[in-house]
Structure 1
């Protein structure tokens, strides 16, 4: 792959990968509906989350590729995850190590899978990394991903690689090569760029746990080729991605070496063995929900562009300084400061949620307005490890399932310690934002 490159400061990020990843690290889905975040960031739009969350855990990207059908499905993840391809990496538990176990059933290939000899993947790794000792538990199998251990004399480190291809959308997979938002993912450095042949790359230097409860570093490089193939490499400063003692100060390969590794020409021959995913017709109903006889439930409309972020900023109370912002489609966030400390505020605007209204509004502090809208107010502790973090939410829904849910935190990032006693917005202010008539105008567009 050509090594001529230029920096791409504002890469476009489209595709369906982000919607699956939004289910990572933002709570847990209810009844297999990842849109049901109980107070806060709902998993809506398809694009932004690759910037924020795909890099939070070493196995996240590996596991999620098989979930949404966007990427081919036989990958080596950790031994604990290989059997269930969950979108979320284990939150706690014992050490996990990369293995050569492909995700699949009884050796039967699924659409988009290829049986690439793991020994050939290993040879490319060896040929494009510095001098050192490689150790692999098993190279007899086939798949599209491989985990191993590398030691250059400074300590053994876990390393994993996956090969995949994107879906058929024009810019599918572009979310994989965009840096995350620091309001959601802590990292030391992240760079992106484009090679002369049109391939795009990202090199990320971060941590296995956003709250750094273990000092395991996770560095990764991802390459998206112009013809829709992905090479993704992760490395750690420990012999396992989770639960193992730190074996060295940093992962073994420098950012420049990681970039060179994912761009190695030898991957091309292996990538070409991965068949394209078949084109599948759209379903009349939402996954996991059967339409009533004689009635076809239409897919809810989707919100695109920056209408939600712009509207959120316009509705903020006076006296708040916006120090960070982001979002698109159904999701937006701002970090505000009223002079008393930073506070994260986030919103999701969603159509078609009426089928789960009972689950969202079946308990707690719920009121019903004269026009039929339900309002639920929630105070709860933060969930991302930041010390003293509190999470306040105003969740609203119309009778036909149009949902606006706004949350605020007493910190500028959920994984960081509280910067103030309470969020910068009161529950009443969050409620006022969620119920503002501007959302109805947005809905009508």
Structure 2
């Protein structure tokens, strides 16, 4: 993947854990090929929701930061192998670089994989299991289950957040239908236990492969996380479909993640350090600040019909209507993006007198529904402050067109992205 197309890619300091962790974070969902502008639109613009997790967890000593980087809320599995090496082959929903860190990461849990496998087997229906690295240590387990109806990959990842419940809420929040229309998801609070999310979706939101991903994630009241993913193939990616659906029902997944047998293993997790923003990752505005600013800049006559969540740093989206049908608008405000200048120059961006770059793309949405048109304006200051805004003539990605043209013209997108309001301190 290119490091010029998408979110933050500055090299972190060479200081042990943060260096290796930062490298994995950048390679698991943050990069998009330089010739794939729509990859930026569909994924890079959503860096805000991933940044929220990075800000809170990237330097806590918890591997949760790695597993929290999936696109659109449907996060990929991750575990540590026998030596503690990171297996990131499936974290982001896109192929990852072969040059991932392979050495052990310090301060991670050293849970016997065999013990996690035993809990998994004891709380699922009878079947044949094989496990990776069963004699090693890690922070979860990866197994292949076969009940006679086809093999299925199953992953369990155990982690914790900083403080009771804090910083883990994003993992038990359902993905937005605007980005993942095929996901069925529900959350519930279980008294005395914690917050549970269960979803049924696909490994790839655009369904370029038909591998299904069913998931249950529990955030306990005391801040521990049990995350289980299952698939209808023998591997999360790259394996043929082996059965119609993953093997366990949502009821069975709930019983699995809430089992008391995980508690002794969760107790082996190291205490997290107090999180702080990595020095190489400047602060970005809150979702609420982006929401307020964007709404103040919308043209007259454009009615807001619906909004996305406002808990994502630097990101916000909404649905608008000018009387001609619903349209989708999303914006990402990013800091420290100097290296994107190279790509903007290469794709014909205009340079304004004040040095800001303005790139415009318009065309058929590659991964959109029938008749969907996408328009994007990408702006960058010499200091690396970036505002990217996109509009579709549909109510979400991969949804069919709801109107003839997007609700905002290119000139209106430019006016919003180049507004001086973005240059004011917004938190």
Which residue number in structure 2 is paired with residue 413 of structure 1? 396
Work out the CA distance in 1 between the residues paired with 2:363 and 2:31: 13
- Matched residue, 1:289: none
Q: Do the aligned residues in 2 keep the contact of 1:379 with 1:392 (CA within 8 Å)?
A: yes
Pair 1:133 & 2:128 matched: yes
Aligned to 1:256: 251
Which residue of the partner structure matches residue 74 of structure 1? 80
Contact 1:410-1:422 at 8 Å conserved across structures: yes
The equivalences for 1:72-221 within 5 A come to 74=80, 87-91=91-95, 105=102, 108=104, 110-136=105-131, 139-167=134-162, 171-221=166-216
Give 5+ residue unaligned stretches, structure 2: 1-20, 55-67
Match of 1:316 among 281, 298, 321: 298
Task: Identify which of 309, 325, 328 aligns with 2:307.
Answer: 325
Task: Give yes or no for contact 1:24–1:88 (8 Å, CA) kept in 2.
Answer: yes
C-alpha separation between the residues in 2 aligned to 1:225 and 1:200?
6
Counterpart CA distance in 1 for 2:237 and 2:112 is 27
- Report the CA distance between 1:182 and its aligned residue: 0.7
For the 8 Å contact 2:77–2:157, the answer to whether it is kept is yes
Bigger drift between 331-340 and 251-260 goes to 331-340
Q: What whole-Å deviation, never above 9, does each CA across 1:236-293 have from its counterpart, x for those lacking one?
A: 223332344433332221112111100111111011112224568866x52xxxxxxx
Comparing both structures, which one devotes a greater share of its residues to helix?
A: 2
CA contact (8 A) 1:157 1:238 kept: yes
Q: 1:334-373 maps to which residues of 2 (within 5 A)?
A: 334-338=318-322, 340-353=324-337, 355-356=338-339, 358-373=341-356
Cα 1:156–1:253, aligned 2, differ >3 Å: closer, same or farther? same
Cα deviation code 1:124-162 (max 9, x no counterpart): 112111233333355222222222222334333221111
Cα distance in 2, alignment partners of residues 24 and 84 from structure 1: 7
Residue 379 (structure 1) aligns with = 362
Of 62, 72, 84, 2:77 maps to 62
Query: Structure 1 residues 20-29 or 427-436, which shifts more?
Result: 20-29
Deviation of 1:87 after TM superposition, in Å, equals: 4.6
Matching of residue 43 in structure 1 with residue 26 in structure 2: no
SS in 1 for 2:333: strand
What secondary structure sits across from 1:375 in the alignment? Answer: strand
Distance 1:280 1:410, change over 3 A: closer
1:230 counterpart residue number: 225
Using the TM superposition, name which of 158-167 and 251-260 deviates more: 158-167
Q: Is the 8 A contact 1:383 1:414 kept in 2?
A: no
- What residue is the counterpart of 1:431 in the other structure? 414
Gaps of 5+ in 1: 1-16, 31-35, 64-72, 93-102, 287-298
- Number of residue pairs aligned between Structure 1 and Structure 2: 379
1:191 & 1:406 partners in 2: Cα distance?
Answer: 29
Change (3 A) 1:323 1:223: same
Q: Cα–Cα, structure 1 residues 279 and 171, in superposed 2: closer, same or farther, change >3 Å? A: closer
